[in-house]
Amino acid sequence: MGAVVKVKGDIRRAPNFGGALAKGLTAVLFVASACLPGLGGAYSRTVTSAQPGVGFFTPEGSHAELVSKTQFGMVNVHSPDELAANLRMAKGTPFKVNVDFGPVIARPSDKSIIKTTYRDLAGVLRTKAFAPLSQTKLRQFPVNDQLKTLLAPYFDVLKRYAPNVGIVFLADEPYLNGIPKSEMERVGVVARHELDVRGLKSVKLGVIFASGMFDSDFATMIDRQAGEYAKRIDDYYRTGQAPAQWVETMRTSRLSTYDSAGNMYTGGGIPKGFDVVGFDFYLSTMLLDGLHQDTLSWFAAHYPGAGCDRFANQTMTQIHSKLSFFDHRSMQPGTQDADRALLDAIYECRMQATTTMLQRDLPQGRPLQLLMISESSNNGVLEFYSDGSPKQKQPSLLVEARVLDEVHRAEKFFTAHRSSYTAGLMFFTYQNTYDKTISLNIGGASGMPSVMRSIFDFSAAAAPGHGSNPSDQTKGRNAGSAGIAY
């Protein structure tokens, strides 16, 4: 979740990139099931259907309960032993483990390559008042020989547990974090070769984009939103009225959005050599990340058939005023129904628009697959003050009901589009997490019984060879969240 930053006397919700809670949070990974013409040579591989069914992204590792009750999972790794432990848990089962190697090979960008210019919403080129921090969310890859050395012990582990290996990811949200398409392609070639020489030709390479960053026009809009954020900071600093403590914070420990402005890759395009293409676009990202202040309105203007018309010319700040949990009104009669209807519309808009955008941008001639990811944590549906900062005391059952609604939206969408989402449906997150930036406990699905029951029931129905239709699990859910009292 984003921190709360005071800029020019106002409390503003700041964008948040990264960390476990910002890994997209209602992410929808897309892997286009259609085989499209084009691009032969090393990139013309036969890609079979990815693992079907339901899974969780659990950054810190797999859980035995999930191995027995879902079909796949995704983990981050930091050591070969950690990777082996995750795969060993799945050994002898059909469970597949998807692995994000970003923590191993996507290193913080050197300050010397971080640009200090950016464009604001008006397109005006500006120079930053503060030099780049030594640690940012911007990432770069090492040279090929170092890549091979870094990946070798991990890929050797993959070889030992080959039946349980699913998809390999090389960097999280690369374009948002400054990694260009050409670099993804370079590293993809190295990873593909290292997998193949170990007999892991069936292991797929995947890439996950932040929201619609695969599209050049969308990426430019987001980069300029970051530029507008940087402009507010620079303008305030240049008034000469900023308190010394504020200036010191900006110099040493500011949010990464400032450094990211002007450094995102905005060229767009799907990198060659990857089998799974996805995007993460969580409800919490949409509601709380300042970069998406105008996103729904942008969708309404650019994708008129995606169900976004009601959001034309509306900012996210204006939409906040219509949600009871941003405005001390959540206990008033009728507010839950109104919230649900609005959140339904937000889900439909961002999912349909970003899907349409991705399908338009998919390269011809490449067999790609779609994997859907959605949010199962509570940090986007807590009770907030009007500035977007969460309250310390939360109505747990009411918050759980909102999470269950979001899970039901995902189940319904997946059921309606299952023929496209052949790689399955993945939820984030499973565990409870403590966010130090806001001193708040964030509830994962594991702490919400109704949410876990819904996901496990849906997983059982969606499992390969199961006789029932997942749609049976979603009937009657539009009216509300069964089993939770408001």
**CA pair distance 2, 294, nearest whole angstrom:** 17
The stretch 193-213 carries a mean pLDDT of: 96
Is the torsion defined by CA of 54, 58, 63, 65 positive or negative? negative
For 184-193, 248-257, 434-443, which range has the lowest pLDDT when averaged over its residues? 434-443
Count CB atoms within 10 A of the CB of residue 23: 25
- What residue spans of 70-124 are helical by DSSP H? 80-90, 102-105
Secondary element (H or E) of residue 74: strand 72-76
Cis peptide before 429 (omega within 30 of 0): yes
Cβ–Cβ under 8 Å, residues 277 and 32: yes
Mean per-residue pLDDT for 463-477? 58
CA atoms within 13 A on the CB side of 70: 26
**What tokens does 419 get?**
């023929």
d(CA 243, CA 23): 33
Residue 214 pLDDT > 90: yes
Task: Give the per-residue pLDDT at 483.
Answer: 42
pLDDT mean over 72-92: 97
**pLDDT score at 438:** 54
Task: Note whether 380 and 50 are within 8 A (CB).
Answer: no
Q: How far is CA 361 from CA 1, 36, 83, 357, in A?
A: 29, 12, 34, 6
User: C-alpha 166: how far from its chain's center?
Assistant: 19
Q: What is the pTM of this model?
A: 0.87
Instruction: Copy the structure tokens of residue 108.
Output: 């913080």
Query: What per-residue confidence (pLDDT) applies to 423?
Result: 82
% of the chain residues with pLDDT over 70? 83
Pick from 377, 385, 282, 378: nearest CA to 325: 385
More confident of the two residues 60 and 215: 215
421 pLDDT above the threshold of 90: no
Whether pLDDT at 100 is above 70:
yes
| Average pLDDT score over residue span 48-75 | 85
pLDDT band at 42 (very low <50, low <70, confident <90, very high): very low
How far apart (Å, rounded) are the C-alpha atoms in residues 181 and 186? Answer: 9
Q: What is the pLDDT of residue 22?
A: 37
State residue 329's pLDDT score.
75
Q: Is 129 helix (H, G, I), strand (E, B) or coil?
A: coil
- Average pLDDT, integer, range 262-277: 95
Q: Specify which residues 187 forms β-bridges with.
A: none
Q: What is the pLDDT of residues 17-36, one digit of tens each?
A: 333 333 333 333 433 333 33
Report the percent of the chain where pLDDT is more than 90: 69
Output 335 or 4, whichever has higher pLDDT. 335
Q: How much is the mean pLDDT over the chain?
A: 85
* Amino acid in the structure at residue 476: G
Question: 89 in the Ramachandran plot: left (φ > 0), alpha (ψ -120 to 50) or beta?
Answer: alpha
pLDDT (0 to 100) of residue 33: 38
In this model, does residue 477 exceed pLDDT 50? yes
For residue 455 the two structure tokens come to 């996901």
Give the separation between CA 372 and CA 423, rounded to whole angstroms: 8
For the segment 139-157, what is each residue's pLDDT rounded down to a tens digit?
Answer: 999 999 999 999 999 999 9
Tokens representing residue 421 in the block: 């989402």
Q: Which strand (E) or helix (H) includes residue 11?
A: strand 10-13
pLDDT computed for residue 466 by the predictor: 58
Is the pLDDT at 485 greater than 90? The verdict is no
